[in-house]
């Protein structure tokens, strides 16, 4: 539903960059997304995760609605800052 950039922070010579994301997903889709993020490079840090049930629409009597969850979380990574690159050379 939304992606908002977070302020860049300096930490130990690296720039910490990230985004705040808000979305809805089924539990299997959420698990797949988290597994993919965990296995990707560069290393991504998932923090401040909030998962809550979303309202579902009523379907016909014999149909079960797919349960969706609302997800809010921050995703961050570290980038080498320009000053750190000069120190390495």
Contact of 67 with 56, CB cutoff 8 Å? yes
Query: What's the total number of domains in the chain?
Result: 1
Round to whole Å and give the CA distance between 68 and 48.
19
Q: Does residue 86 sit within a domain?
A: no
Rounded percentage of the chain residues whose pLDDT exceeds 70 = 88
Contact of 17 with 79, CB cutoff 8 Å? yes
Whether the per-residue pLDDT at 73 is higher than 90: the answer is yes
Q: What is the pLDDT of residues 5-26, one digit of tens each?
A: 999 999 888 999 999 999 999 9
Please report, for the domain that includes residue 43, its CATH number.
3.30.70.60
Per the prediction, the chain carries an average pLDDT of 86
pLDDT top residue among 48 and 81: 48
pTM: 0.75
pLDDT top residue among 59 and 24: 24
Q: Does residue 89 sit within a domain?
A: no
Q: Which structural domain, as residue segments, surrounds residue 49?
A: 2-55+66-80
């Amino acid at each position: 539903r939304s992606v908002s950039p977070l302020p860049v922070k300096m930490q130990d010579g690296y720039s910490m960059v990230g985004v705040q994301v808000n979305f809805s997903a089924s539990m299997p889709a959420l698990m797949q997304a988290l597994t993919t993020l965990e296995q990707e490079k560069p290393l991504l840090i998932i923090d401040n995760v909030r998962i809550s049930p979303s309202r579902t629409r009523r379907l016909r009597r014999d149909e079960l609605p797919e349960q969706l969850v609302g997800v809010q979380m921050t995703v961050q990574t570290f980038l080498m800052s320009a000053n750190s690159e000069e120190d390495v050379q």
